[in-house]
Amino acid sequence: MALLPERNRTSDLALLLFAVGALALVSPARNLWAAGRFWLLPFLLWLALIVAAAWIGRRRRSRDA
């Protein structure tokens, strides 16, 4: 029986980041918190997700090298 390759923690972190982002920014529940007075909040959350994904990718590349 072949052994499964060891999973990298950065892959788990990236998957968790994607799941939280999808839940917060794509679900219909987004309308509840995005309809308030602070209209910039969804854009700031997208920016935070993009920065976090870039950080995870950079961290992963540095470990591979």
H/E stretch holding 41 reads helix 41-64
- pLDDT tens profile 2-56: 555 555 677 788 888 888 888 877 877 777 766 777 778 778 888 998 898 888 8
∠ CA 29-35-37, nearest 5°, is 140
- The full set of domain ranges for the chain reads 39-65
- pLDDT for 44 equals 86
